[in-house]
Amino acid sequence: MNRLPAPFLFLVLMVISCQGLLAADLDALPEFLRSDPFGAIVAPDRGAANLSSSLYGTQHRIMLTGCRGGYVSFQLVVKLPSPSDYTVDVAIPDRTNKVQIDLFREWFHFTDSDRRYYPDALIPVHGTYSSHLPEPDNRIRQQTAQAFWVDVYIAPDTRPGILSGRAQLKAGAKITILPIQLTVLASIIPGEDVVTIDHNSYGSSWLAQQFATSYQHNPDHWFESEQFFRLIHAYHRLFYEHRGIFHQLGYGHSGKVAPEFAPLLEGSGRAKHITSWSLYDRHYGPLFDGMAFSASRRGSRPIPFVYLPINPEWPASYEFWGEAGYEAEFVNVVSQIERHFREKGWTHTNFEVFFNHKKRYKGFPWDGDEVRFPEDLKYFLEYGRLLKKALPADTPVRFVFRADVSWDMEQQFKMLEGVVQLWCASGGILSFYKDAPKMLRKRGDVIWYYGGPPRVTDSSAAITELPLRAWLWGVNGFVHWLTVSPGEDPWFHFNGGQTALVYSVERFGLNEPIPSIRLKIQRDCLQDLVLLDSFKGDKSLDALRAGAARKYNDSTPDDWWNPRPALADLPSDRWLGSAIDDATKHTRQALRDPGASGWYNVHQYALSLQAEAK
């Protein structure tokens, strides 16, 4: 093989390199269109590709509009056809610092199910981001595009008006600038959500797995360390900043309680009592007084809900179930708990007495979770009695008996009236009982429904269906049953994320969880819902709901309910799981998948109502 002369080779390389840089490009996409690492819109979002130019105004200016007290989000995509270094930054200068930019690099997860890449985890970028394409850590050999999530936060006391800014890409000698125009509307997004979105989790051993380096430094005392509690508070903070709440269940199906979830007990029978609040107060004190959120944009606020460690084996030993000793242990310890909370002034949080166990896990002979067999309800009645006995009638501490219900919910709504105050219902089965939310709320109960996050392989806006359904149904909230478990290798062999909305990122040197695109889209949806709901003085709530459903997927609010099936009149222990699926067919057929543009249309609807109201 003949060797090429060095000057010629240099020239060729220069030409190739310059061509690449000349083609360097910076593009802006709405939040609902996710890019892949090669610059194309991911397949599930392509149906909404017509939105791709929706951000741009004249002169290729990014046009953003947002209410105060919330976020406006969009994405930037850096495109470099050949490997190169680059720098990107975004700024909307605001002398008062009321408008702030949060920039995140989007991680492209390789999903094993379809062998494609999807962005989801959002790695915070502080200031200007400089790197190289292909991104060294994401290890995608042919990568030509890197996406960034941009959150523009508009503080509630921002002055309405227009602000200008720009996004800038530097690649080699080429600089690409996208001008940005932000219109700050006068409306303020209310701080209180109309739909509570809960992010559930179980225990805390997963934290040691996901933050293994930190754990390995101090394996014997890690679960008592400041680092551990800071980490738990960071999870709470992350969900709170995204208009959500976080639950951690502190006991297992046979009643084992992890030490940080309960005060320490000693003694037996009438001598059983609490001896130490040390770990419990370090864990929960900053959450119950709100100080864990003092640095957040939403301000300090006590968490609204929390699981108590109460289960059939705690605080009373199941050895004494049905005997005087059980009652004495339960009543004395729960009374002590009430006193401690009252003395601390922890009167804003709802403390949940909740039974999660199922008999199939062999710990106890009745189902606390999703009761199917009606004879199990006698246990609920007994705990209701014990609780009543333990608590002063005029306690300012909010103890609530919570039941997660599915098969037998209709019976439970009747039989446990006055005992259970917080219901967490299977969405499929609740869809048979259109009158239930109104009936429960009328008597002062709280009703949520549960399910799980969509996969990253679903359309970007799939997650908005869950809060929207809650609002259309008139329930108080929705529970993602598991949100902190991204699987063994979410970075290179992702399972799709049906049990994760946040990620742990020791690999990036961060000792905190980070958000996902789905969590951001859910937050923006919640902002729109609370804004929509705030117009109910001008329009009826029914009309607002009908408008949102129509914009979302051309449905009516009735389409979101299933007709009451014949099986609902049978005892729940005679139902079949497959028959429940059949009975929810109506909504599956009536509700068209809106694809990625569904929520964009609802958002526009909310903005149009805002303009009308003005």
In 3D space, the residue among 385, 10, 467 whose CA is nearest the CA of residue 198 turns out to be 467
As measured in angstroms, the least distance from the Cβ of 380 to other proteins is: 13
Q: Which is nearer to other proteins, 323 or 612 (CB)?
A: 323
As measured in angstroms, the least distance from the Cβ of 568 to other proteins is: 17
As measured in angstroms, the least distance from the Cβ of 539 to other proteins is: 42
Whether omega before 134 lies within 30 degrees of 0, making that bond cis, reads: yes
Q: Which is nearer to other proteins, 156 or 384 (CB)?
A: 384
Beta bridge partners of 174: 171
SS in 3 state form for 14-80? HHHHHHHHHCCEEEEEECCCCECCCCCECHHHHHHHHHHHCCECHHHCEEEEEEECEEEEEEEEEEC
Q: Which is nearer to other proteins, 5 or 577 (CB)?
A: 577
Q: How far is residue 283 from each of residues 84, 288, 590, measured CA to CA in Å?
A: 47, 10, 46
Q: Which is nearer to other proteins, 215 or 399 (CB)?
A: 215
Q: Which is nearer to other proteins, 157 or 319 (CB)?
A: 319
Q: How far is residue 18 from each of residues 15, 173, 235, measured CA to CA in Å?
A: 5, 9, 45
As measured in angstroms, the least distance from the Cβ of 253 to other proteins is: 8
Q: Can you give the binding site for other proteins, defined by CB under 8 A? A: 202-205, 208, 223, 249-259, 261, 313, 317-319, 321-322, 358-366, 372-373, 375, 576-578, 581
Cα distance between residue 387 and residue 355, in whole Å: 13
Cα distance between residue 273 and residue 263, in whole Å: 10
Q: Which is nearer to other proteins, 126 or 360 (CB)?
A: 360
As measured in angstroms, the least distance from the Cβ of 356 to other proteins is: 10
Residue with token string 């209701």: 384
As measured in angstroms, the least distance from the Cβ of 252 to other proteins is: 5
Cα distance between residue 445 and residue 420, in whole Å: 8
- Contact predicate 260/223, CB 8 Å: yes
Question: Using alpha carbons only, how large is the chain's radius of gyration in Å?
Answer: 26
Q: Which is nearer to other proteins, 122 or 353 (CB)?
A: 353
Q: Which is nearer to other proteins, 248 or 562 (CB)?
A: 248
Cα distance between residue 153 and residue 129, in whole Å: 19
As measured in angstroms, the least distance from the Cβ of 578 to other proteins is: 4
As measured in angstroms, the least distance from the Cβ of 205 to other proteins is: 4
Cα distance between residue 255 and residue 559, in whole Å: 41
Residue 83 one-letter amino acid: P
